Structure 1
Amino acid sequence: MSIDVSLCDRYVVFLDIDGVLLPVPKFTFGGGDLSGRCVQCLKRLVAALGGREKVTIVLSSTWRNHPAMVNRLNTFMQKEAGDGIPIVAERTPNGTVLVSSVTYYADDLSEQRLVRDRVDEVFRWLRTHITEHPEAIGGRWFAIDDMKLDVEERMRGHFLHTQTDVGMTDADVDTACAMISSLPSPEAAYAEAAAALADPALKQEEIEIHKVLQSRLEVQLATATAQLAEAQGKIVVLSAEKKNLVNELAEMQRSMEDMRYRLAVYNFAKRYPSLAAAVELSDTKTGAERRDLDAAIRTFVKLLMDRKKLQKKMRSEAKKVRHVS
């Protein structure tokens, strides 16, 4: 990999929305409309950076997680600023594997987490886009947010704070323009980007991230393996239960068939003296002679049962015909 020096004259802007382009009144919980006035201020800032061709906007706002809201933002900016603002397509990651240790906002852990995570996400984006956006890792970037991100040392000189209930103003643009003048030149950015590409500290950070991810995957694999073993154990138990139930059902069906057969023999024997005599004779026989006689009796009784079933069906059909006629 190498750094394309022609990319180093650009800028990257990390953009929050609520409190920047969408003023949030005090004592409310967000919502409301994007501000045309604030968008015009952003347009002016983009122009000061060299125009939309020289600027990449990276969404750091929670809006980045909602495609419909990103579409709403791009549509509104195009309506209010035309081609003066680039389309927002980039976004910071949702959280980072490695979390910075910080001491600010010790009495407000919720705010501490919000600020820390946003800053970590910005720097993670910088470090994962070295070749695509060398200008950023080279220092030609800044973030616009209504949270005070500059309590974090790494953000100083790269941060524009806006007032939540007002949003971006012309005065903020003036402040940003003054900050821009102190950012590295394209040549200095190129040198920084080239150094970052070979920085052993950044490579070690990637190694640590992969170690953490590997550890998480190993835990997930161990959990999945245990769950699979448990499921397989349950399958064995359920298979045994199924086998027993199938055997019980088969035995029950055999018992019912035997009961139906015995009942049929009893009923038909009352109507057919020859059958009654054969049954009585069978009780006096043993061995093969008994088996042969029982088989003949069963065949005869089965024929009688089939005939009875057929007669019943014929009567039912005849009844239907009479009903129709």
Structure 2
Amino acid sequence: MADKILVFLDIDGVLLPFPDPSASTCGAIFPDATLHALSQILYAIPDALLVLSSTWRAQKNMIDDIIESFQIYGNAHDSPLARITEFYDVTDTSYHDERQYEIYRYLQNNRPRAWIALDDEDLLLDRYRNSFEGRAIAVSSPVGLTSADADLAIRLLQQQLAKS
């Protein structure tokens, strides 16, 4: 695990802005803009692995919907999302309390080389702040993941990789 590069991915507010997401042009359930931004990260860091930290992780049909949307978008736009047929992992499905704790707990059992978390929840709160500083990208829920967020994620991962 020490050689892995992980991207913890939330769905609602990150890939699926709310309250009113824009439609996809290719039939994916997520807007093109958010999938494009996620693709930017995967283009820049091709060894990055996605860990689903969203509440969507608890239902197989929802995970299948995400993967299907990745495939649809990836094939339509020649994106690295086309190669994703499953998530590398998911955070523990028995915990749906505090996203920071769920990710923190995952990291206690899995020590990646580098990692970031894409989430619309503020992960820099309370006792986990030090663990998440320089690794958490605070996505705006009404907008979803943007190219600027993706650029920040890439920069943070590259900084971690340069130190390892």
Same-fold call, TM cutoff 0.5: yes
Q: Is the 8 A contact 2:40 2:150 kept in 1?
A: yes
Q: Aligned to 1:21, which of 6, 15, 31?
A: 15
Q: Does 1:141 align with 2:135?
A: no
Alignment CA distance shift 1:22-1:147 (3 Å): same
Q: Distance in 2 between matches of 1:160 and 1:45?
A: 12
Q: Aligned to 2:60, which of 35, 54, 67?
A: 67
**What's the secondary structure of 1:149's corresponding residue?**
coil
Shift of residue 181, structure 1, vs aligned partner = 2.7
What amino acid does structure 2 have at the position aligned with 1:14?
A: F
Q: Does 1:160 align with 2:137?
A: yes
Q: Is the 8 A contact 2:7 2:50 kept in 1?
A: yes
Q: Distance in 2 between matches of 1:81 and 1:40?
A: 9
Q: Is the 8 A contact 2:57 2:93 kept in 1?
A: no
**What's the secondary structure of 2:160's corresponding residue?**
coil
Shift of residue 167, structure 1, vs aligned partner = 0.4
Q: Distance in 2 between matches of 1:59 and 1:177?
A: 18
What amino acid does structure 1 have at the position aligned with 2:108?
A: R
What amino acid does structure 1 have at the position aligned with 2:32?
A: G
Q: Distance in 2 between matches of 1:173 and 1:55?
A: 13
Q: Does 1:121 align with 2:120?
A: no
**What's the secondary structure of 2:124's corresponding residue?**
helix
Higher strand share: 2
The root-mean-square deviation of aligned C-alpha atoms, in Å, is 2.2
**What's the secondary structure of 2:159's corresponding residue?**
coil
Q: Distance in 2 between matches of 1:76 and 1:184?
A: 29
Deviations 1:38-77 (A, max 9, x none): 111101111111x2xx121111000000110100000001
Shift of residue 36, structure 1, vs aligned partner = 2.1
Q: Which residue of 1 aligns with 2:23?
A: none
Shift of residue 184, structure 1, vs aligned partner = 4.0
Shift of residue 185, structure 1, vs aligned partner = 3.7
Deviations 1:186-237 (A, max 9, x none): 7x3xxxxxxxxxxxxxxxxxxxxxxxxxxxxxxxxxxxxxxxxxxxxxxxxx
Shift of residue 150, structure 1, vs aligned partner = 1.7
User: Which portions of structure 1, spanning 4 or more consecutive aligned residues, are displaced by more than 4 angstroms?
Assistant: none
Q: Distance in 1 between matches of 2:87 and 2:5?
A: 14
**What's the secondary structure of 1:181's corresponding residue?**
helix
Q: Distance in 2 between matches of 1:66 and 1:89?
A: 16
Deviations 1:102-141 (A, max 9, x none): xxxxxxxxxxx95xx21121122122234xxxxx1x4x00
Q: Which residue of 1 aligns with 2:24?
A: none
Q: Distance in 2 between matches of 1:155 and 1:66?
A: 27
Shift of residue 94, structure 1, vs aligned partner = 3.1
Shift of residue 14, structure 1, vs aligned partner = 0.4
Alignment CA distance shift 1:118-1:178 (3 Å): same
Q: Which residue of 2 aligns with 1:214?
A: none
What amino acid does structure 2 have at the position aligned with 1:79?
A: I
Where does 1:310-321 land on structure 2 (aligned, <5 Å)? none
Shift of residue 89, structure 1, vs aligned partner = 4.4
Q: Which residue of 1 aligns with 2:41?
A: 45
What amino acid does structure 2 have at the position aligned with 1:36?
A: D
**What's the secondary structure of 2:50's corresponding residue?**
strand
Unaligned runs of at least 5 residues, structure 2: 21-28
Q: Is the 8 A contact 1:95 1:121 kept in 2?
A: no
Q: Is the 8 A contact 1:40 1:81 kept in 2?
A: no
TM-score (norm 2): 0.79
Q: Is the 8 A contact 1:94 1:121 kept in 2?
A: no
Shift of residue 177, structure 1, vs aligned partner = 2.1
Percentage of identical aligned residues: 28
